[in-house]
Chain A
Amino acid sequence: MRSGSRLERVLRLGRFAVTAELNPPDSADPQSVYRRALVLAEVCDAINATDASGANVHMSSVGMCAVLTHAGYEPVMQVSCRDRNRIAIQGDLLGAAAMGVRNVLCLTGDGVQAGDQPEAKPVFDLDSISLLRTARILRDKGQFLSGRKLEAPPRLFLGAAENPFAPPHDFRPLRLGKKIEAGADFIQTQYCFDVPRLREFMARVRDLGLHERAFILIGVGPLRSAKAAEWMRAHVPGVVIPDEIIRRLKGAPAGRQWQEGKRVCIEIIQQVREIEGVSGVHVMAYRQEELVAEIIREAGLLRRRHLREKEPRGGM
């Protein structure tokens, strides 16, 4: 164990892990966080606090994690390189660890152009890989990037993102290897709507032995309607939705498309679970926490409590 993280413990015990995304509110009231977190906490092992995802401003991830740890929840703090330089990020990592955050997801971040304030200055002082290495230096060497010693290092379980569905496809598994080399202990992927593509990706990952060096959680989520799917495909960076899925949604009557979307999501979870090297799923649905909880229940993931392996996996 590197971190005292509950998510890490679940994964090392060989249980199929479930994480869910909590989109921060546009609110200064902690109750707005708790209302949403309560729904998710019952059904998942850790809650991801997004960091201005899609470059839209909301409550900060570090603030939301403070609120969550205060109430005993297990957050995964997402840190993006878009808005802060290395000085701010290292300080935030220490502050977050001091508040009890044990999981950090290191991201590059969407461009400012994708959000509601495209006039903003993009920072990108670090990239996701140098951020991972920086966080590992804080944890393992007990130093800042500058070499200055820490009084007490942060105990963190370090995560990274991967998108198996975006080009250049043959570089993606190698890039995942680079992230693990830089310090990633776990991986959460972009939305998976193309299971055959994921199978190809995971085959390469297994060839490289990467699934034995980091825990891989596959991103999944429901599509509300064919129209929403088309919008997402066109506007959300990195989301790839095959035409076949959109046709399937269109086939359902107008008011029922969300149910079909939910069914597709549950099917994908079940298929993904069978792929060797997959350690869990990460469920995302923008501000639809109840739906996420239903999906986790109906996919049979609450009965996942049996051990797949008896001993915790060592050597990672």
Chain B
Amino acid sequence: MSFLQNSPHLLERAYSATSRALSPFRRWLKPGGRVERLFVGVEIVTKRPLFDCRMCGQCVLHSTGMTCPMTCPKNLRNGPCGGVRPDGRCEIIPDMPCVWVQSWERSQRMPVYGSDILTVLPPLNRQLSGTSAWINDLTGIAQKLPAGWSE
């Protein structure tokens, strides 16, 4: 699996291909039904082994170097904290490489979405935890920002 993670350019292509393939079926993709249960199941068996996915329901992998920011012990979605050890490991779990050191390196090898790492991301919507990120993305639920946040 680490081969795939270290090939972020392949993963970003897979992401945009899946997005394009699912897009025409948008009408049938609704939260809360059988379709969503199916999607959740598929996401668990694919994204968990690949990204150690935590099912936050708001996938931003293409903005974070195809590295899941929810695996950061502080759940940081906007970049590394100031505690990263000089050897690039995590302040909290010394055996673990810093998620954001990996994220940054991988984003540099992503020609399509690499620069998305510079976008300021809104806080997580905790209500979406455990739901399907694909359905939330394609129906626009994931893009719905807190009313005060939108410019």
Binding site for B on A (CB under 8 A): 81-82, 86, 108-111, 113-114, 122, 124-130, 133-134, 137, 141, 143-148, 161-163, 166-168, 170-171, 174-175, 177-178, 181-182, 190, 237-238, 240
Given the contacts A126-B123, A146-B148, A178-B118, A167 and B86 also touching, CB distance less than 8 Å: yes
Are A167 and B84 in contact, with the CB atoms below 8 A?
A: yes
The main secondary structure of chain B at its interface with chain A is loop
Which listed residue (B101, B120, B148) contacts A129, Cβ 8 A? B120
Q: Known contacts A111-B92, A113-B92, A146-B148; decide if A171 and B120 are in contact (CB<8 Å).
A: no
**B80:A178 contact, CB within 8 angstroms:** no
Is B5 close to A, CB under 8 A?
no
- B73, CB-defined interface residue at 8 Å: yes
* Contact assessment for B84 and A144 in the assembled complex, using a CB-CB cutoff below 8 Å: no
Chain A interface main SS type: loop
Partner of B80, one of A109, A113, A143, A171: A171
The answer on a CB contact under 8 Å between A147 and B148 is yes
B41 at the interface (CB under 8 A from A): no
Q: How far does the alpha carbon of A181 sit from the alpha carbon of B120 in the complex, in Å?
A: 8
Complex A-B: 9 CB contacts under 8 Å:
A113-B92, A124-B76, A130-B121, A130-B123, A148-B148, A166-B86, A167-B86, A182-B78, A190-B82
Please name the 3 residue pairs, one residue from A and one from B, whose CB atoms are nearest each other, closest first.
A147-B147, A237-B83, A163-B82
Partner-A contacts on B (CB < 8 A)? 73-86, 88, 91-92, 98, 100-101, 104-105, 117-118, 120-124, 126, 146-149
Contacts of B86 in A (CB 8 A): 166-167, 240
B118 with A137: CB separation less than 8 A: no
Question: Taking each of A86, A109, A145, A168, which has the highest tally of chain B beta carbons within 10 Å of its own beta carbon?
Answer: A168
Contacts of A177 in B (CB 8 A): 118
Residue of A nearest to B77 (CB): A127
Q: How far is the CB of A86 from chain B (nearest CB, A)?
A: 6
> Which of A111, A162, A167 meets B74, CB within 8 Å?
A111
Tell whether, in the assembled complex, residue B105 and residue A168 are in contact, meaning their CB atoms are under 8 Å apart: yes
Which residue of chain A has the shortest Cβ distance to B78 in the bound complex?
A: A129
Distance of A292 Cα from B68 Cα, bound (Å): 42
The reply to whether B82 and A237 form a contact with Cβ atoms under 8 Å apart is yes
Residue of B nearest to A166 (CB): B84
Residues of A contacting B124 with CB < 8 Å? 125
Which residue of the partner chain B has the closest CB to A175?
B79
Residue of A nearest to B82 (CB): A163
Which residues does chain B contribute within 8 Å of A181, judged by CB atoms?
A: 120
How far apart sit A201 and B98, CA to CA, in the bound complex (Å)? 20
B121 to chain A, nearest CB (A): 7
The one of B91, B101, B105 in contact with A114, judged by C-beta atoms closer than 8 angstroms, is: B91
B120 and A178 contact, CB distance less than 8 A: yes
